[in-house]
Structure 1
Amino acid sequence: MASFDETFNSLRHRFEENKQPIPPVTLGAISKNGSFRYTKAFEKESDDAESNGVHWLASSTKLVTTIAVMQCVERGLLNLNDDIAKVLPEWKDPKILTGFNEENEALFRPATKAITLRQLLTHSSGMAYTFMDPLLTRHEELQGKPLPGPPTSVAEKFPHHFLVFEPGERWMYSPGIDWAGVLVERITSMKLGEYMQRHIFDVVSANDATFHPDQREETRARKAKVWERVGERLQEQKQPYWPDRVEADFGGGGLFATVDDLLKIYQGVLTGELLRPESVKEMFQPQLETTTGLDPAEYSLPSRNAIWNTVPDDVPVSFGIGGLINLTAVPKRRGVNSLTWSGMPNCYWWIDLSNGVAGVYLSQLVPTGDEKAIELLTEFEKFVYSSLDKS
C-alpha cells in the first residue's frame, strides 16, 4: 500500500515554516469490503505512535446517535415523520422566540407546526445552539450565568425549550440530536450509552467507545491530550472544554473513541451490519425542505470549515440524516451524496456510499475549524481515493 507519510511530512514542514504547527493527529480509512484499510497516528516528535489513542469526539458523536435512532425506526419504535412530543412532552405545542420588549422580557408566538423526528435529525426543527442565533445569545445573556459544574441532563444543558423559527423553515445547527438521544432512552428504558453498547459497539467490536472513559482505567490512560493554537505555537489545554466526568450520556457530543472504533462503525453502516439497506439509503438522501441556512458565504471561515470541511464552496449541498451531503461528486475525492460532519476539537469524518469507503481525522485541537486541519484532511482524502484506484 502507498504511504501517506511523505505527504504528511511535507505538509508538516510547510505549516511549521508558516508558524502553524500540526498537533498530534490520527488518520484512518476503510473500504466496505475491508480490502483497503489505513490507520496512522502522527505525533509531533514521532510518526511511530500507536493509533489507539482515545479521543473526545464532540459532535462527531451525532452520527452514532443517529444510527441508534434509525435502529429504533427499523424496529417500529419510532417514525421519522411523527411529532417528537409523543415521547418528548417538553416539546408539545412549541413556541418561537421573536424578540424582547423594552423591559428585556422575551416575546414568543406559537409555532404553527409540530417538530418531527426527521427535522430533529436534520437540524431543521427550529431549535438552535445559542451561538448560532443572536436572539438566543441575547436570551442567555439576560438569564445570567448557568449553575456551576457539568450539566447532569440534556434538559439542564439545553434549558431553552423554545424555537427560533418554524419547523422545516430552514437549516440551523442545533442540539436536536441530543434530544434524539433522550428519545432513544425513553422508548428503550436504557441509558443511551447502554443502548449503544448493546446494539452498536458490541455488534462491530468497537471496544473503547464510551461516554464515560473515567470509568475505564485502561481507556482513560490512553486519552489524547487537548491542544490549543495560541498565536504561532501549540500549548496543552489544562482545562479541557469537556469535563472528565459527565453524568448524562449526551448524544450530541459526549462520546470518546479510537480511530479503530470509528472505522468499524462506519464500515458497519456501509455493509448493512448496523442498519438495513433501506435505512442507509434514506440517510444518504437530501432531507431538507429548503437549504436556506446552508450558504457558506454566511459563515466565518472556522464555522465554514466545521460545517463543510473539505467540500468545496461551489459544490451544492443539503443535509441527510446524520450529516451534510454533497449533491455532486468532488473530483478525485468523495462521490455524490457522501455523508460528513465534524466535532469541535477538529475531528472530521466522511462516509461515501457510492464508492464504498469511509474516512476519519481525529485530533484534539481547539479552536474548531482549523484551516491547517482542513488542508491536511483534503490531502488525506485524495490519498485514500488514489489508493482505492490503485487497488
Structure 2
Amino acid sequence: MQLEQIAGTAIANGDVPFAVIMLGDRNGITATAVTGEAAPGRPPTADTAFRIFSMTKLVGSLAAMLLIDRGKLSMDAEVAGIVPEWDRLRVLDGWGGDAPRLRAPKTAATVRHLATHRSGLEYEFWNADMARYLEATGHPSILAGTPASMDYLLTFDPGERRGYGPSIDWLGLVIEAVDGRRIDAFCREEIFGPLGMSATAFEPDGMEDRLAEVRIRGEDGTLGPFELAPPPTP
C-alpha cells in the first residue's frame, strides 16, 4: 500500500506520467505497485517494457570487455585497423561562413577512446556545432538507425577530452568485425541469455504491445508524448 501511495503522489504532482515500482531480494520480487498510464489508454503492468536509451552503452561496453577478457580484442587497438570505415571521419575545425571546415584527425582513435567516450564523437543535442553541421548538410542523425548516420564528424581529436556521443555504436561495429556475429546476436547469446534477461532485446522484437510511451516535459511543465525511437530493424 505504501508503494502505491508513493507512486500515486508522484503522478498527482506531475513528477512522472506513470510508475512501475518493484522491490525484491535474492529470493525474488517481494512487492509491486503500478499506476498511471504507460501509453494512451493502457495502464502499466509489472511487465511493461521500457526503452533504456543510454543504458545500452553499458551493454555495448560489456560486450567489448568480454572480447578483451578472451584475448580477442585490445583496448589499445586502433579502430581503423578493425573497422576501416572509421578513416572516413573528419574533425570539424570551425566554419567558413555557413560551410564547415574539415581536417583529418591528429591522433588515431583506439578501442579505449571509444569505450571511454574520448573518440571525438558527440551527439548534436550535446554539441551545437554538430547540430549546425547536420542542419547545414542534411546529414542524417544517428537516430535514423542507418549506416550513413554513423559517419558523424569528430568535434575534437581522439583522446583530447571526453564527449558524449555514438562512440559505443562504433564499438558495436568493432565487436561485429572481431566476433563475426551481429551485435544484437552477440548480446543475446553472450549477455542476455546467460544472465536470464529474457525481456531485454533490440527493437522491436515483439514487445510493442507492452512498450511504454516516451514522454517529455514541455515549456508549460506538463508531460506529453515524445517521438524518440529507432526504426524497426535499424
Normalised by the length of structure 1, the TM-score is: 0.51
Decide whether aligned partners of structure 1 residues 39 and 171 sit closer, same or farther in structure 2, where only a CA change above 3 A counts: farther
Contact 1:226 1:240 in 2 (8 A): yes
Structure 2 vs 1, CA of residues 71 and 29 (structure 1 numbering), >3 Å: closer, same or farther? farther
Q: Which runs of 4+ in 1 moved over 6 A?
A: none
Q: Please say if residues 92 and 114 of structure 1, whose CA atoms lie closer than 8 Å, have aligned partners that are also in contact.
A: no
- Amino acid in the other structure paired with 2:151: P
**Hey, what does 1:13 align to over in structure 2?**
9
Is 1:190 matched up with 2:197?
no
Distance in 2 (CA, whole Å) between partners of 1:106 and 1:15 is 46
Greater displacement, 226-235 / 176-185: 226-235
TM-score, with structure 2 as normaliser: 0.81
Matched, 1:158 2:150: yes
Q: Does 1:76 align with 2:68?
A: no
CA distance in 2, matches of 1:52, 1:77: 37
Is the contact made by 1:24 and 1:41 (CA closer than 8 Å) also made in structure 2?
no
Gaps of 5+ in 2: 38-42
| Cα distance, 1:4–1:126 mapped onto 2, change above 3 Å | farther
Higher RCO by CA contacts (8 Å cutoff, separation 6 or greater): 1
Q: Distance in 1 between matches of 2:157 and 2:31?
A: 43
| Aligned equivalent of 1:171, options 155, 162, 177 | 162
Q: Does residue 1:43 correspond to 2:30, yes or no?
A: no
AA paired with 2:77? D
Tell me the amino acid that sits aligned with residue 132 of structure 2: R
Letter in 1 for 2:164: Y
**1:123: Cα distance to partner?**
1.1
Change (3 A) 1:14 1:88: closer
2:118 corresponds to 1:124:
yes
1:205 is the counterpart of 2:196: yes
Matches of residues 241-390 of structure 1 in structure 2 within 5 Å? 241-243=228-230, 245-248=231-234
On the 8 A contact 2:121/2:155 being kept in 1, the answer is: yes
SS of alignment partner, residue 47 of structure 2: coil
Change (3 A) 1:163 1:24: same
**Is the Cα–Cα contact under 8 Å of residues 119 and 167 in structure 2 kept in the other structure?**
yes
What stretches of structure 1 of length at least 5 have no aligned partner?
Answer: 249-391
Question: Quick check: 1:63 aligned with 2:58?
Answer: yes
Question: Is 2:220 the counterpart of 1:226?
Answer: no
- Identical aligned pairs, as a percentage? 26
Native 8 Å contact 1:185 1:191 kept in 2: yes
